[in-house]
Chains A and B, each alone.
Chain A
Amino acid sequence: MTGKKVLVVDDEIHIVHVVAVKLRNNGYEVLTAANGAEAYTLTCDEKPDIIVTDYQMPLMTGLQLVQKIRENDAISDIPVILLTARSFAIEDDQRRNLRISECLSKPFSPKELLRGIEDVLYRQTVTQS
């Protein structure tokens, strides 16, 4: 979806870069952050349409970041896609409580991630209308 703002969060600089290239090639505006704190500040300031974040990050994990966002009314409705290299899946009730739209495991396909983002944004516009 053109014109939509995506925030990409990962402490691995190459991952952030490849996702940014993919999204920008497909008409998205991309914001990037290397850690949870940076990501939270950017979310508050820029109010992206969707957030793509890694799970395993130092100081603040992806889940902790989502928790923080959900607690802030101004930004709590922003949909989130979680990327994780961890072998165990996030538990269902955790996903539900934090309202995580999708979980993708690493290594991931940028094509699939794009499709996922598109799906989530589409569902979002449908529910909002």
Chain B
Amino acid sequence: MKPARNLSVAFILIAAGCLLLVGLAQWSDSGIGVGGVFAGHTKSGILVLVSRLIGAMGVIWLGWFALNLAAAIMSIAAQLQPDNEHHSKASPNVAQTFTIRAFRFGSVINKLTAAISGRLSAYSDRIADLETQIEHLQIQIQLSKSQKRNIEAIIYSIRDAVIVTDESGRLLMANEAAGRLFGFDYRDSQHKPVADLVGESKREFADLLSRVAQTKGKVKRRQIDFLEAEKPKSFDCIISCVHDGNEQVCGVVAVLHDVTREKEIAQMKNDFVSHVSHELKTPLASITAYAEMLCEGEAQDEQTRKEFYSVIHDQADRLNRLIEDILNVSRIESGLIKVEKKPVSLTMLMQEQLRMIKGYAEEKNIEVISQKPIVFDRVAVDKDMMSQVIVNLLSNAIKYTPSGGSVRIESEVDELARVARVRVTDTGVGIPEDEIERVFDKFYRVQANKNQAKGTGLGLNLVKQIVEKVHSGRVFVTSKPGVGSTFGFELPLATAEALETV
């Protein structure tokens, strides 16, 4: 196009130049002196003719060019106004253009202008609409993103492990707990097959997920055990299907709740119940056996009969004490006992219990030593419970100390540790090192000392529950077999406010 255009431009310029020359020549002929310079050159007739020819050709070419231009504009107008009945073809016929359009050229220009303006305003309206739509869509996108973030945040913050997969077992979403439990990056594992993410050791879980997807809708609940960070744990796993709008299964969601602690507690309860039943059956076995012997006449003399009655009596007593202790311990453990904490002087409690135990100590010829009372040890405690603690420790000390020995009770206030401390030391049989950890366990009785004295095995457990669970204190024990033991407890000192509310 360019060389042709350049050629056209050059031709136009040459033609224009010739016209100018012709004009000037004419002018000089008519006597006006300005064109005198050219007069000599344009005297030749041929030159004038050639110039006039080129000029005419130039005019004709210009005209042609103008007409083409008009035709092009026409066709544009036609394209913009498809309802114009005169334009069915895009390219104009020259004759048509010249003869018909020439007269209508003016109105067509007007129509063209109107059409173009109309189009432009229509387009600009359209653009404005689209811009508004884009704005709305952007707002929608932001909203959706923020909703997605909210939902993710909710799921991520759930402490139970949550895993969502599609219907073919590929991960869609998982929270931090799930990532930690199964050992994968919860933010970065989208679309990976869950079976690969959870690993071979947790294959059972992956299989469960795919089974639920296949059964389309039946919720599965299973207890699954596996290792989390080397520790064995139990999980209550509930798996359900995710349904899309058309009730079709489009995914599976699994929630794993850690029930390790609950399981432990249930096991402990079970153990306790069977332990208790065993403990209760033991004195009962003696009672029934001796009672039967008496009924069958197997006690052949008065002495034996007396002996048997006495055993029945003692064992019934033992059974009763056992039941009382078990109930006490259970009630304290389950928090059912009403606790009334008041500021009390420990020394005063100690004095009270010492008075009560005096008889028992004298019977066994055991010296009981107590220190000079401390005037000011301030603890907020339940009086009855603390009395029970002190009497248990004192009676144990006397029980397991052979005749001629001694038992010492003392208390102190440790300002630094903010505790009041009580210690009961005896010169008794002591406790072997391998058993000392267990003396506070329910029903535990030191093997070597079992036949030394009667005991339910619950006394120390009761002490521990009262001191630690009810009063937030601490029990402790040290012992040396053959030398003696020291049992003690610490209680937090009462605050000034507690003391004021008497």
Contacts and interface: CB of A to CB of B under 8 A. Distances in A.
Contacts of A34: 451
Interface in B85-143: none
A108 B285 contact: yes
Interface of A: 11-15, 18-19, 21-22, 25, 34, 56, 58-59, 85-88, 106-111
B456 to A, nearest CB: 14
Given A15-B285, A85-B278, A85-B285, A109 B300 contact: no
21 contacts: A11-B450, A12-B285, A14-B315, A15-B286, A18-B289, A18-B290, A18-B311, A21-B293, A22-B298, A34-B451, A56-B278, A85-B278, A85-B282, A87-B274, A106-B284, A107-B281, A107-B285, A107-B289, A109-B288, A110-B293, A110-B298
Contact of B277 (A15, A18, A22, A87): A87
A22 B300 CA distance: 11
Tell me which of B284, B290, B451 has the highest count of chain A C-beta atoms within 10 A of its own C-beta: B290
Given A22-B298, A87-B277, A109 B292 contact: yes
In terms of DSSP, what is the predominant structure of the interface of chain A?
A: loop
Contacts, number: 66
Given A21-B298, A86-B274, A87-B274, A107 B293 contact: no
B302 interface: no
A94 B304 CA distance: 39
A14 B289 CA distance: 9
B224 to A, nearest CB: 27
B296 interface: yes
A12 B451 CA distance: 9
Contacts of A12: 282, 285-286
Contacts of A11: 450
A86 B287 CA distance: 17
Determine the interface band of chain B, counting residues with CB < 8 A from chain A: 20 to 34
B288 A25 contact: no
Contacts of B282: 12, 85, 106
B284 A22 contact: no
A25 B285 CA distance: 20
B371 interface: no
B278 A86 contact: yes
Given A85-B278, A86-B274, A87-B274, A15 B450 contact: no
Given A14-B290, A107-B285, 14 more contacts: A11-B450, A12-B282, A12-B286, A13-B451, A18-B290, A21-B304, A85-B277, A85-B285, A87-B277, A87-B278, A88-B274, A107-B288, A110-B293, A111-B292
A85 B292 CA distance: 18
Contacts of B293: 18, 21-22, 110
A123 to B, nearest CB: 25
Given A25-B300, A85-B282, A110 B289 contact: yes
A106 B300 contact: no
B450 A111 contact: no
B81 to A, nearest CB: 101
A87 B299 CA distance: 30
B501 interface: no
B285 to A, nearest CB: 4
B447 interface: yes
Interface string B302-334: 001000000100010000000000000000000
A105 to B, nearest CB: 8
Tell me which of A34, A58, A107 has the highest count of chain B C-beta atoms within 10 A of its own C-beta: A107
A15 B289 contact: yes
Contacts of B274: 86-88
B453 to A, nearest CB: 13
Interface in B443-492: 447, 450-451
B281 A106 contact: yes
Nearest to A26: B298
Contact of B311 (A14, A19, A59, A109): A14
Contacts of B451: 13, 34
7 nearest CB pairs, A to B: A85-B281, A107-B288, A106-B285, A107-B285, A14-B286, A18-B289, A85-B278
B452 to A, nearest CB: 12
Interface string B426-441: 0000000000000000
A25 B311 CA distance: 19
